[in-house]
Amino acid sequence: MASAAPRRLESYVYGAWTAGKGDGLPLLDAGTGETVALIDSKGLDFAEVLHYGRTVAGPKLRAMSFHERAAMLKALGLALMEKKEEFYAESFRTGATRADGWVDIEGGIGTMLTFASKGRRELPNTRILTDGNVEPLSKDNSFSAQHIYAPLQGVAVHINAFNFPIWGMLEKISPTLLAGVPAVVKPASQTAYLTELMVRRIIETGLLPEGALQLISGSVGDLLDHVTGQDVVTFTGSAWTGRKLKAHPAVIANSVRFTMEADSLNASILGPDATPGTPEFDLFVKEVAREMTVKAGQKCTAIRRVIAPRDHVDALVKALGDMLGKTALGLPDDETTRMGPLASLHQRTEVRERIQDLLSDAEIVAGNPDNVRVASGDAERGAFLNPILLYADDPFGAFKIHDVEAFGPVSTVLPYDSIEEAVELARLGKGSLVSSVFTDDPKVAEEVVIGVAPFHGRVLVGNRRSAKTSTGHGSPLAGLVHGGPGRAGGGEEMGGMRGVKHYMQRTAVQGTPRLLSAVTGRWIEGADVQHGEHPFRKSLAELKIGDQLMTAKRQVTLDDVEHFAHFTGDTFYAHMDEAAAKANPFFDDRVAHGYLIASFAAGLFVEPNPGPVLANYGVDNMRFLTPVYFGDTVQVRLTCKEINPRENANHGEVRWDCQVTNQKGEIVAQYDVLTMVAKIWPPAQTQEAAE
Ligand code: NDP
């Protein structure tokens, strides 16, 4: 770590890199104590930051479709990944080892790439989302309702913690930008130099519309005074600050969405079956030791409370003590280092004080907070602290253990005498981000998960079978909910596409189907239809929502059913045995197979010649609603319901409403047919267009 003159961090606001007007607060290297950078944001116009995001970037982002925004995130993620070594070099200064940095840097960029890919696969290529089914509100289909999600027209202000300067930003801005909302990021000062570096690289790519990402290096000043009901504020950090910001008058007065992720006294339970010598016992020991030492225990998801059967506590403490004792503490860029320093000397003082609090209810069984042993680096100038394991013999009387978060390599072992007690102890954390149980017993898994789930945002069940594939207790994943109730802040982040909706407003829209269809870009029952050329002859360039085909009719006969039954092997009695079918409460006689009807429907609606429809890739929501008896006649109405051209491809997905009726007009079957359709047909033109 060569020492250079500290750089002055800048904010990226209203279209320019801007230095604060103050002297700048020095930020120190966690391992050496050298000054890395100076930070301050004095003189920024925070109201203008919000206004700029809302007015300059908001309209540009909202003009893009989900797929365009997903493609933007993908390009950005790939560009950042190419520069990862630069981020690793800076990350060492935060106290993160290479392995810690991986979680922050590649974990963060990976989260962005996951949002990009899920966005393209799971969201339509539109600018708003529909939510749930159409609610018919009149018998004649003249008045219906559809819930939609539209992007908020404000900005998302993300106030982040010091422990994940990159992941903390990327896991929040990815769903924000995918939703079509600009972001303002305020990293924690202590490690803001790493966030600032990445924001510089992001802005340099030119991939984001101007104003889509702004950065405040330093205090946010009076920014919160200016938030409105269209803005979102998210916060990760201490419960004290979080509560203060949540109670900010403008947040309350304007009902601003406030997502908080604060203290979390996460628990991990060793199942009663996981006795010493079992794979689950060994996995548990490794997991607890890993959670205590990764990022020097400065993880919001780290295991703080280790809940174990009383009979196995001695063996567990011994195994954990041995493993933790071997953890080489040292400079983050030293390859032999297994655990780096805390983020700052201030943080070390803070953790030592919290250990003192915990000592009123527990004793130290491994490590010594006052005697630091380092393999490299200076034990006093760097914020080093060896892992500390505590034990509380009276876990229900150990109030501090369930109340105080020592944000470092610190955990407490708590004994239990029954699985009910184990669950109760986990709940005493009053709401946490994550909990885990290590067991190979399905009953234990069931009892623990059902018992603790209402108190947690995520629960991991670990055992021998998933040992190699498990992502671990402490890893929040882009596709899974991250957040917890109660003391953990009551917030929810990520969770795949659920997280995108946190930046959108859900609205029930009522009206006549034709106009609802115009709003959502989706055909709904009662909306306009067009008849003409067979819609399977139309490429995406020609196809319109509402293009409809009424097919010929086909009678279903006894021979058809017999043939289908013996051909496929589906000789279920309701199709084959008259007496048994009549005894069935749902049927009056032998009935045709539902799948036969679906097959006949396909036979009626397909256009057999080579054409723009490239493939049928499935059906959604298939329901057989009225039995078809021999002699009944079926007919299909196929309507183009949704068109999703794919970015960077020559085709797109088309969803068709498929309704099969009988001679009485009753709906026999209803489902969506999913097809891939060429953008241009014939393919020669596609080729020319591509050129
Ligand atoms: P803080 O709550 O002090 O800071 C979190 C974020 O809030 C930082 O970006 C900070 O900025 C900002 N902030 C602080 N005051 C204000 C304010 N008045 N207005 C707007 N923003 C503000 O937490 P720390 O990062 O200092 O960590 C303190 C403790 O919090 C840790 O020791 C740990 O116990 C806990 N913590 C818990 C986490 C969890 O997820 N469970 C994560 C991180 C911390 P700035 O840095 O510039 O002050």
Amino acid present at 190: Q
What tens digit of pLDDT does each residue of 45-91 get?
999 999 999 999 999 999 999 999 999 999 999 999 999 999 999 99
44 C-alpha vs ligand 1 centroid, how far in Å? 21
Indicate the top mutation candidate among 9, 25, 94, 162 to test ligand 1's pocket, ranked by most ligand atoms within 8 A of CB: 162
Q: Where are the beta strands (DSSP E) in 516-572?
A: 548-555
Residue 686: pLDDT above 70? no
Ordered alpha helix ranges (H), 541-661: 558-568, 573-576, 578-583, 594-605
Indicate the top mutation candidate among 159, 301, 304 to test ligand 1's pocket, ranked by most ligand atoms within 8 A of CB: 159
Could you identify the atom of ligand 1 that is nearest to the CA of residue 218?
47
How many CB atoms are closer than 10 A to CB 376? 17
Amino acid present at 544: K
pTM of the shown model: 0.91
Q: What is the percent of the chain where pLDDT is above 90? A: 96
The length of the chain in residues reads 691
**Active-site positions?**
261, 300
Residue 4: pLDDT above 80? no
The Cα 340–Cα 295 span in angstroms is 7
Could you identify the atom of ligand 1 that is nearest to the CA of residue 242?
2
Could you identify the atom of ligand 1 that is nearest to the CA of residue 241?
2
The Cα 24–Cα 20 span in angstroms is 8
Residue 625: pLDDT above 50? yes
Indicate the top mutation candidate among 238, 305, 350 to test ligand 1's pocket, ranked by most ligand atoms within 8 A of CB: 238
The Cα 40–Cα 357 span in angstroms is 33
**Residue 666 and residue 641 in contact, taking contact as beta carbons nearer than 8 Å:** no
Provide the terminal-to-terminal Cα distance of the chain, rounded to the nearest Å. Answer: 50
Q: What is the dihedral of CA 629, 632, 637, 642, to 10 degrees?
A: 10
Give the pLDDT of residue 691: 43
Average pLDDT of the residues in 620-638: 97
Nearest CA to ligand 1 atom 5: 237
Q: Which residues contact 575 (CB under 8 A, 6 or more apart)?
A: 561, 565, 581, 590, 591, 592, 593
Give the pLDDT of residue 647: 78
7 C-alpha vs ligand 1 centroid, how far in Å? 23
**Residue 70 and residue 178 in contact, taking contact as beta carbons nearer than 8 Å:** yes
Nearest CA to ligand 1 atom 13: 241
How much is the mean pLDDT over the chain?
95
How many CB atoms are closer than 10 A to CB 370? 7
Give the pLDDT of residue 685: 53
β-pair partners for 459? 435
What tens digit of pLDDT does each residue of 478-493 get?
999 999 999 999 999 9
The Cα 11–Cα 215 span in angstroms is 5
Give the pLDDT of residue 201: 98
89 C-alpha vs ligand 1 centroid, how far in Å? 24
Average pLDDT of the residues in 272-285: 97
What tens digit of pLDDT does each residue of 154-211 get?
999 999 999 999 999 999 999 999 999 999 999 999 999 999 999 999 999 999 999 9
Give the pLDDT of residue 3: 54
Query: For the chain, how many helices (H) and strands (E)?
Result: 21, 27
69 C-alpha vs ligand 1 centroid, how far in Å? 30
Residue 683: pLDDT above 90? no
Indicate the top mutation candidate among 186, 241, 342 to test ligand 1's pocket, ranked by most ligand atoms within 8 A of CB: 241
Average pLDDT of the residues in 585-592: 96
What tens digit of pLDDT does each residue of 444-470 get?
999 999 999 999 999 999 999 999 999
Q: Where are the beta strands (DSSP E) in 188-245?
A: 213-215, 232-236
Top-confidence residue, 685 or 552 = 552
119, 259, 240: which is closest to 177 by C-alpha? 119
Nearest CA to ligand 1 atom 9: 188
455 C-alpha vs ligand 1 centroid, how far in Å? 23
Ligand 1: which residues within 6 Å by Cβ?
159-163, 186, 188-190, 219-220, 236-238, 241, 245, 261-264, 300, 350, 405, 407
687 C-alpha vs ligand 1 centroid, how far in Å? 55
**Residue 77 and residue 113 in contact, taking contact as beta carbons nearer than 8 Å:** yes
Residue 646: pLDDT above 90? no
Q: What is the percent of the chain where pLDDT is above 70? A: 98
Q: Is the dihedral of CA 338, 342, 345, 348 positive or negative?
A: negative
Give the pLDDT of residue 520: 92
Please give the helix or strand (H or E) that residue 640 lies within, else none.
Answer: strand 633-645
382 C-alpha vs ligand 1 centroid, how far in Å? 21
Could you identify the atom of ligand 1 that is nearest to the CA of residue 261?
40
Could you identify the atom of ligand 1 that is nearest to the CA of residue 350?
32
Burial of 689 (0-12, 13-18, 19+ CB in 10 A): exposed
Residue 5: pLDDT above 80? no
Nearest CA to ligand 1 atom 29: 238
155 C-alpha vs ligand 1 centroid, how far in Å? 21
**Residue 171 and residue 107 in contact, taking contact as beta carbons nearer than 8 Å:** no
463 C-alpha vs ligand 1 centroid, how far in Å? 35
What tens digit of pLDDT does each residue of 320-374 get?
999 999 999 999 999 999 999 999 999 999 999 999 999 999 999 999 999 999 9
Average pLDDT of the residues in 494-501: 97
The Cα 684–Cα 456 span in angstroms is 56
Could you identify the atom of ligand 1 that is nearest to the CA of residue 488?
41
Q: What angle do CA 199, 471, 336 make, to 5 degrees?
A: 70
Could you identify the atom of ligand 1 that is nearest to the CA of residue 159?
9
Amino acid present at 597: I
Quick one: tokens of 83? 């520069």
Average pLDDT of the residues in 253-280: 96
Residue 690: pLDDT above 50? no
